[in-house]
Amino acid sequence: MSKSSPNLPRVNHPPASGRRASILHAFDRFAGGATRQAGSPTAFVLALGVVAAWAITGPMFAFSETWQLVINTGTTIVTFLMVFLIQQSQNKDAVAVHLKLNELLASHREASNMLVSIEDLDEEELLQLATFYRQLAELADKENGLKMSHSLDEARENHAAKQKARASRQYRPKDGGSGADAHAIADASP
């Protein structure tokens, strides 16, 4: 099955060209494959076998410093190289997930577009957004359900409208009057 590339908008930086692009593509494919293989049961059994072989040979080498240095050096080198391979795969996966979420947000008519590219915000801005959503949850909780509103402004408007409607029903004159007092009370509520 061949993958077709969608028509994507241009970005501010030029794409990698020629030899550099092919090297980046080859590294990306290698990192993805190595990461998948390193997380496989086969790789675990292989690593366990190496450690077991090293432990079994301990008495043959009298548990010398050289014997200890072999496993220390080997594991350090493997760990050092795997950090970069795993990080490459994680970076690519994170970007792909963010793009998919951005597409969902952008395509949904009622979703708040302010969350598109939220990953570019600094920690202080993320904390402000967390406060924003806590307020949204509190307003939704007052409406007896978290699924009632999708933005803070709309939640405030919905909450105010519902309070106004409740006040109007509570203070409706029973004598068939005009209800002006009820509207005045409803307008005064926050």
Q: What is the tens place of the pLDDT at every residue in 128-160?
A: 888 888 887 787 777 766 555 556 677 677 667
In terms of phi and psi (left: phi > 0; alpha: psi -120 to 50; beta: otherwise), the region of 111 is beta
Give the pLDDT confidence score for residue 72 in this predicted structure. 96
* Closest C-alpha to 82, from 36, 17, 140, 117: 36
* CA–CA separation, 34 and 81 (whole Å): 11
pLDDT at 174 exceeding the cut of 60: no
Give the pLDDT confidence score for residue 186 in this predicted structure. 43
What mean pLDDT do residues 31-45 have? 94
* CA–CA separation, 187 and 190 (whole Å): 8
Give the pLDDT confidence score for residue 190 in this predicted structure. 44
pLDDT at 7 exceeding the cut of 60: no
Give the pLDDT confidence score for residue 173 in this predicted structure. 57
The residue with tokens 């106004």 is: 164
Give the pLDDT confidence score for residue 176 in this predicted structure. 53
Percentage of the residues of the chain whose pLDDT score is greater than 90 = 34
pLDDT at 163 exceeding the cut of 60: yes
pLDDT digits (tens, 9 = 90+) for 85-111: 999 999 999 888 988 888 887 787 777
Contacting residues for 43 by C-beta, under 8 A, at least 6 apart:
37
Give the pLDDT confidence score for residue 2 in this predicted structure. 44
Contacting residues for 187 by C-beta, under 8 A, at least 6 apart:
164
What mean pLDDT do residues 102-127 have? 80
Spatial contact of 167 and 189, defined as CB atoms under 8 Å apart = yes
Mean pLDDT, the chain, rounded, equals: 79
pLDDT confidence of 20, banded at 50, 70, 90? confident
CB atoms within 10 A of CB 159: 19
Token pair of 112 as six digits = 């708040």
Spatial contact of 165 and 186, defined as CB atoms under 8 Å apart = yes
What mean pLDDT do residues 20-39 have? 91
Give the pLDDT confidence score for residue 14 in this predicted structure. 55
What mean pLDDT do residues 42-47 have? 96
* CA–CA separation, 92 and 96 (whole Å): 6
Give the pLDDT confidence score for residue 137 in this predicted structure. 78
